[in-house]
Structure 1
């Protein structure tokens, strides 16, 4: 016989055997071969590396405040964290001594509630550890041993599960379920009441009392006939008339200005990147950079590459002209379906908002206005129909993403959670697994959860984009929705799919086999006990989740050490060519990603509560995590992270609801155990009141605390009034709500390309080939928000330089000035710095005043710093940024006034922070000199530029 004919059937037989083995593994993936070794390996690696990272942090912290304590450097006096010594362990004392009230003053209510939530989780799981481990572990071991006698061949982790229990002993699990619910509801009620108290303090704080948004209503879905300033007031009067009428401001159509500004900023950053690489280390590269033209640019061939520097410069100039022209065309006649109404008194605004919380007149939606920098302006004009459709499509995409992830997640459940399963279908790997048992135990305990978590790094940005497209009106509501979607995704894929996939697949396989053999499908389903299989599947997967949560302690230590930021910053500065803007942004305090952190906390909680009765060891492991993280996160919040947009504690209700849902799921698991092995309907009926208790508890807390949390005043007897003086009331009569809540595209300063000062001498060579027609700035001069594209004479400011002389239109930054401290008050760095309250300025750049046939900024600015009692003055400013000689500012597009203020500086507003503007001398390496107002020739702009009337 031909040997080839004998080989083929043999190979097919092997393939068939492997396929059958694969299907059997899918049906039963979790075995007990190396569970204990994996858990011990995960514990050792997690604790060992965590201690190593903590020690690394203690040693590096005193010598790198940019990474480990940026808040100390950038925050104003009121918001600065407690001083900290240089010793390796000097950080521990300030963290311990800083109480909640001081935390609120330093970092805001959102961050304080974040720490309160971690402490609540810590306390809950410490109590549950005593109950669960003290009752369930002895019960499981004693009861299981009575049934099986000697069971030395059973894993230690399986002995602590109810897998080997039967009968009346499950009353212990019912009792623990009640104890768990009482403990959780007790802590939630205690903290709900505390959050309500903190919100009252927040409402009564001087910062909130003096803020404009605190007494301003946001009205959306306004009908066409009421889209005027007077129409806004009419809507509010129909709800509830107040003693002092509000001031209304309808929004104007800004057309495509936001898209143009976004494209402009992208082009500026692209140009900065090309210049940084081309002039790296003060030397020109061999070849000039090339790029493909923008798809929106109809003047160039999309496929042919062009000179990147020349093209981007001309493209930026064209966009500036276009933005200017569109801004000039905005007027009051093209109104939008949303507006704002500002009251002289905070109590009046909250009374009207409370009266309209269920339904507004003319089908409008009325809410308290958030901070202007919290708004997602592009979604405000959306109609209810459009918003509903986008929300529906958003849910469709989230559902599809969740379903698509089922297949890879199931494969992870089969092979990554237990490497012995991979060996059963891969004989060569099985040999390695048997030879190096300890090594592969470590890999399973460490690498498996790490790989499972890798995908989740990208989810927040995906859900964030989907939430924006769905029509969220504010950034804080978007973050709450992102947290909700992340939590739903995690619970479905990791609890329902990952943990229960084996049992579900087994039943599907039985149905398919019965149908193939012509048997009754119902008989195939009834032959097995579904609840027993589900219980066994959950018991067998429980060690994986113990190792997974153990590794979260490692994640907490990595967060504290900031090793990723430190390593990336060092690598990028040494081996890449970062732009000055990028390096400045790297020195800014990083924002705290509340959505991701809260999701992880809730997910750990859900997993621990669900598996706490199945594998009680997970309770002390989770308690250990929250014990460690409650202190480590407190340091990070005090000294490193910032709240990018302060919501005043609005995350609490979402956290409360998800915690109750996790408790409900844990009750479902106990009911499953009772049904599978309890053999008593009485036990199952005894579980029903727990559902009623949770629902009643939620309704009680909502009615008792929610209105107090959301409204300063509800129009009821005994409600508090605003705590303001007569001078403040008088000032509020001239509030410019139309300006303060005007679309930022109407006044936002345009970015100017930044170049490192060491490359300034190279710009003449970079732009040497440009002809006069290319730099003709006649149409730009007088209102362009970047430097005039003419080369300026150093000797005669404002005059054109000789051909080939002078630098291009860029902002030069010296090495010593590359620090966020020097730029934190600038509008183009606001996104990097987050909420302006941290720096003692308004959270939104100062906006232009009303112009009446003339120009310039108002003589004073009603916006006030949130840090009113800060000792910083206008003299505390960053200096050192130099500009080309002869450049003059355009007040209509810059964030500061051209009027010379005290000490020769350019001042803006009564309380606004200012900075020095200096010009370089003929020597590019010379130091900056103070601004001389005689060299400035500002051009006056017009009210049509902003399109908002504020003549109250």
Structure 2
């Protein structure tokens, strides 16, 4: 970035820039520098990259950080071997697998992300070769600019004799777009084949077929809000022999609070036990137990036992306190030893009674029917799941219009249980849609606040602007010996601050989607975060170029529509060095940071230092929660991939050097993320490519359109109307190609088509087992043999809400109470992780 661009808050500087613009001169091309800033950024990023890689090579044998997936993956989903100890052996290890082996190991969702990176690597690899010719043509332009701008289109636009060189950018854009659309179409065809195979056969051993055989039913009318009524309704539509089971979700918010109180009491008891104290439940858990006793009033014996446990716990606790105050001697005599048995007896009584009370609160697995009858009074929801014996019937049900009544019974393919956000499943669909609309309005106002924040960051990273308000910085801003520091602050610091600001956005967006809007699946939350996050990245590019307020730019655009084209054409190409530094930072810093995972390493080392200390004991139930493996956050990573595509698409015909760095990013990213998916990340859910594939395709075509509009605006600004008119059909062609890809590949991939279902005998296979009685099975699905039918793995309690199936608490040492010693159910994890 040049000094003229950086003076964005100085009134005098703004006035000078306005005068220059009025004279028809482009200030962004006046300075010929740029390479010095880029070189300093490269050295800084390279030093950070070396440190991160050194950390990774020294510590990558720490399995809890760099090989944690191997502890949770099924045997056939693990890679063949662990990377060897010599440097960069991890590159060879991730490259030794074929595409089919890689897909089988990491799943179709992660494979779609890797295929997208591979596609972009091929696209920018070809672009890098062609861009060398374009760089040579721009370098010999008649404007005779030096430095970085001497290798851009800006070196060919001021002299009439060089106007023919503008056609090179047009021809290059056509060739680039043709290659991009060809690769995108090929990937979409490959995605359709893999998606059909997934819908027909699933994801292999260890994966339950139930999500493929189930539909999510929303807007259920009140008359159908029960398991039996929902089952009977779909049995009437599709036949009793095709419907396996139905689950009507209920509002478990009250029960969730009771279970949270139970878990808090159990944690308190566990900590007290580790400290050698007298563990007992808290008053909160006593109140929760009383509420539960009122709910389960039909179970008189159970209620009586629960109330007795509460009363005994309170009486024993009171006795314990009295004993502790009355029996403790005031002087250190032998009477303390004589009084210790009665003290221990009171404490033991309190422990036993509290343990029984705590464990009873969690033992609700056998009381589901009573809980449902209680919930149906005011907690029955309009959401449920219906399971069929065949994935073909489920696909038919998801595509049919079941009723002509408006706003009644919306059906779609059901997500896997591991993808469900169980606290939100009871929220009505219309309410979720309304909240998403309100959230979009709120994000618009956030964007209005975001633009001056980004502009302020750009200004605060300019020593000239800071020196204007703080005289102590004038030597740093003006003396020649601080030239390198000025370049570092104005060139690299804004990049890292922007990356930090963008890194905080997915956290906010995820909270909006999950906690406020109440989306019902993790994949839907990731889809919401990824789309809004990408729009904020586009806004950040826009604001970085405009260096001002969004309101002022919008006002100018409404008054003069050509303002937007002028902005895209004039300012954005001049910021090539800034965005080149941004991509360099992503290559050398972001990817190295992803590989080294220093924050995770610090967290694990700190956790192990505490949990393994002989002076500080952590309960086992707390340690289990701390050891939860990392999951890949599609919502924040996918827009980062597309941001590099966007930068490369915009600057490939204008500043071809950027395309070389984009190729380096995708070449390294394929190796890094292949390694991470194989050895680090545990997939929390598997949609069979339904979420990442279409999302990445939509973002890719959006990047192409933005790049075309940018070049058209630049050509219009240069009065190169013939070149701009020649590029106009390319925008329409790209949009038409996007519609063709969506209609030809993405929409058919959503469901299992009837033709293939009949061809592979999916209907007949299910009807052969139509007399099989549904069996209640464990929620964790084991591996199945190749000749085992999908019917054998269907379970009526697969989609049961975890709050209704929560088991007793588990302690480090099994207490004497029989209820506490039973096997627990992981409720905090919402469900066991899907097989990886």
TM-score, normalised via structure 2 length: 0.76
Structure 2 matches for 1:496-895, cutoff 5 A?
496-501=542-547, 531-532=565-566, 534-553=568-587, 554-574=589-609, 580-581=620-621, 583-650=623-690, 651-680=692-721, 682-714=722-754, 719-722=759-762, 729=769, 733-736=773-776, 738-752=796-810, 827-828=825-826, 831=829, 835-838=833-836
Q: Quick one: distance in 2 between partners of 1:22 and 1:321?
A: 72
Q: Is 2:77 aligned against 1:79?
A: yes
Cα gap change, 1:318/1:80 in structure 2, threshold over 3 Å: closer, same or farther? Answer: same
Cα gap change, 1:187/1:645 in structure 2, threshold over 3 Å: closer, same or farther? Answer: same
- Give the paired residue count: 725
Cα gap change, 1:721/1:507 in structure 2, threshold over 3 Å: closer, same or farther? Answer: closer
Q: Is 2:505 aligned against 1:459?
A: yes
Q: Quick one: distance in 2 between partners of 1:313 and 1:552?
A: 57
Structure-2 residue corresponding to 1:429? 473
Structure-2 residue corresponding to 1:896? none
Question: Once the 2 structures are TM-superposed, how far is the Cα of residue 78 of structure 1 from its aligned partner?
Answer: 1.3
SS of equivalent to 2:797: helix
Which residue of 189, 192, 199 corresponds with 1:196? 192
Q: Quick one: distance in 1 between partners of 2:9 and 2:708?
A: 40
Is the contact between residue 632 and residue 681 of structure 2 (CA under 8 Å) also seen in structure 1? yes
Is the contact between residue 569 and residue 586 of structure 1 (CA under 8 Å) also seen in structure 2? no
Q: Quick one: distance in 1 between partners of 2:16 and 2:754?
A: 61
SS of equivalent to 1:734: coil
SS of equivalent to 1:646: coil
Q: Deviations over 1:684-709 (max 9, x none)?
A: 33223222212221222222223442
Question: Once the 2 structures are TM-superposed, how far is the Cα of residue 75 of structure 1 from its aligned partner?
Answer: 2.5
Is the contact between residue 192 and residue 701 of structure 1 (CA under 8 Å) also seen in structure 2? yes
Structure-1 residue corresponding to 2:386? 341
SS of equivalent to 2:114: helix
Question: Once the 2 structures are TM-superposed, how far is the Cα of residue 474 of structure 1 from its aligned partner?
Answer: 1.4
Question: Once the 2 structures are TM-superposed, how far is the Cα of residue 264 of structure 1 from its aligned partner?
Answer: 3.9
Cα gap change, 1:506/1:579 in structure 2, threshold over 3 Å: closer, same or farther? Answer: same
SS of equivalent to 2:412: strand
Question: Once the 2 structures are TM-superposed, how far is the Cα of residue 208 of structure 1 from its aligned partner?
Answer: 8.7
Structure-2 residue corresponding to 1:395? 440
Q: Quick one: distance in 2 between partners of 1:561 and 1:614?
A: 34
Question: Once the 2 structures are TM-superposed, how far is the Cα of residue 663 of structure 1 from its aligned partner?
Answer: 0.8
Q: Quick one: distance in 2 between partners of 1:665 and 1:44?
A: 31
Q: Quick one: distance in 2 between partners of 1:691 and 1:407?
A: 31
Is the contact between residue 71 and residue 640 of structure 1 (CA under 8 Å) also seen in structure 2? yes
Structure-2 residue corresponding to 1:903? none
Which residue of 208, 217, 223 corresponds with 1:225? 223
Q: Quick one: distance in 2 between partners of 1:546 and 1:321?
A: 61
Is the contact between residue 338 and residue 380 of structure 1 (CA under 8 Å) also seen in structure 2? yes
Cα gap change, 1:66/1:255 in structure 2, threshold over 3 Å: closer, same or farther? Answer: closer
Cα gap change, 1:618/1:728 in structure 2, threshold over 3 Å: closer, same or farther? Answer: farther
Is the contact between residue 347 and residue 721 of structure 1 (CA under 8 Å) also seen in structure 2? no
Cα gap change, 1:583/1:557 in structure 2, threshold over 3 Å: closer, same or farther? Answer: farther
Structure 2 matches for 1:366-445, cutoff 5 A?
366-416=411-461, 418-423=462-467, 426-433=470-477, 434=479, 435-445=481-491
Q: Deviations over 1:284-326 (max 9, x none)?
A: 9xxx9xx9989x9999xxxxxxx9xx99999998776666689
Question: Once the 2 structures are TM-superposed, how far is the Cα of residue 349 of structure 1 from its aligned partner?
Answer: 1.8
405-414 or 348-357, which deviates more: 348-357
Is the contact between residue 570 and residue 714 of structure 2 (CA under 8 Å) also seen in structure 1? no
Q: Quick one: distance in 1 between partners of 2:356 and 2:473?
A: 62
Which residue of 384, 387, 395 corresponds with 1:350? 395
Question: Once the 2 structures are TM-superposed, how far is the Cα of residue 158 of structure 1 from its aligned partner?
Answer: 5.5
Is the contact between residue 248 and residue 738 of structure 1 (CA under 8 Å) also seen in structure 2? yes
Question: Once the 2 structures are TM-superposed, how far is the Cα of residue 182 of structure 1 from its aligned partner?
Answer: 1.0
Is the contact between residue 110 and residue 648 of structure 1 (CA under 8 Å) also seen in structure 2? yes
553-562 or 53-62, which deviates more: 53-62
Question: Once the 2 structures are TM-superposed, how far is the Cα of residue 178 of structure 1 from its aligned partner?
Answer: 1.6
TM-score, normalised via structure 1 length: 0.67
Cα gap change, 1:58/1:109 in structure 2, threshold over 3 Å: closer, same or farther? Answer: same
SS of equivalent to 1:739: coil
Is the contact between residue 211 and residue 414 of structure 2 (CA under 8 Å) also seen in structure 1? yes
- Structure with the higher helix share, 1 or 2: 2
Structure-2 residue corresponding to 1:176? 172
SS of equivalent to 1:78: helix
Is the contact between residue 344 and residue 733 of structure 1 (CA under 8 Å) also seen in structure 2? no
Question: Once the 2 structures are TM-superposed, how far is the Cα of residue 187 of structure 1 from its aligned partner?
Answer: 1.1
Q: Quick one: distance in 1 between partners of 2:288 and 2:659?
A: 60
Structure 2 matches for 1:58-137, cutoff 5 A?
58-62=57-61, 64-84=62-82, 86-89=84-87, 90-135=89-134, 137=135
114-123 or 578-587, which deviates more: 578-587
Question: Once the 2 structures are TM-superposed, how far is the Cα of residue 354 of structure 1 from its aligned partner?
Answer: 2.6
Q: Quick one: distance in 1 between partners of 2:549 and 2:606?
A: 48
Is the contact between residue 242 and residue 388 of structure 2 (CA under 8 Å) also seen in structure 1? yes
Q: Quick one: distance in 2 between partners of 1:688 and 1:357?
A: 44
Which residue of 473, 487, 508 corresponds with 2:520? 473
Is the contact between residue 487 and residue 599 of structure 1 (CA under 8 Å) also seen in structure 2? yes
Structure 2 matches for 1:930-949, cutoff 5 A?
none
Q: Quick one: distance in 1 between partners of 2:256 and 2:494?
A: 45
Question: Once the 2 structures are TM-superposed, how far is the Cα of residue 413 of structure 1 from its aligned partner?
Answer: 2.6
- With a CA cutoff of 8 Å and minimum separation of 6, indicate the structure with the bigger relative contact order: 2
Structure-2 residue corresponding to 1:489? 536
Q: Quick one: distance in 2 between partners of 1:570 and 1:480?
A: 33
Cα gap change, 1:298/1:264 in structure 2, threshold over 3 Å: closer, same or farther? Answer: closer
Q: Quick one: distance in 2 between partners of 1:230 and 1:832?
A: 25
Q: Quick one: distance in 2 between partners of 1:177 and 1:694?
A: 12
110-119 or 529-538, which deviates more: 529-538
Q: Deviations over 1:217-261 (max 9, x none)?
A: 221111122334454345446765696345434334545112332
Question: Once the 2 structures are TM-superposed, how far is the Cα of residue 710 of structure 1 from its aligned partner?
Answer: 2.0
Question: Once the 2 structures are TM-superposed, how far is the Cα of residue 619 of structure 1 from its aligned partner?
Answer: 1.1
Is the contact between residue 72 and residue 682 of structure 2 (CA under 8 Å) also seen in structure 1? no
Question: Once the 2 structures are TM-superposed, how far is the Cα of residue 661 of structure 1 from its aligned partner?
Answer: 0.7
Q: Deviations over 1:859-894 (max 9, x none)?
A: xxxxxxxxxxxxxxxxxxxxxxxxxxxxxxxxxxxx
255-264 or 655-664, which deviates more: 255-264
Question: Once the 2 structures are TM-superposed, how far is the Cα of residue 743 of structure 1 from its aligned partner?
Answer: 1.6
Q: Quick one: distance in 2 between partners of 1:274 and 1:37?
A: 61
Is the contact between residue 713 and residue 721 of structure 1 (CA under 8 Å) also seen in structure 2? no
Cα gap change, 1:74/1:246 in structure 2, threshold over 3 Å: closer, same or farther? Answer: closer
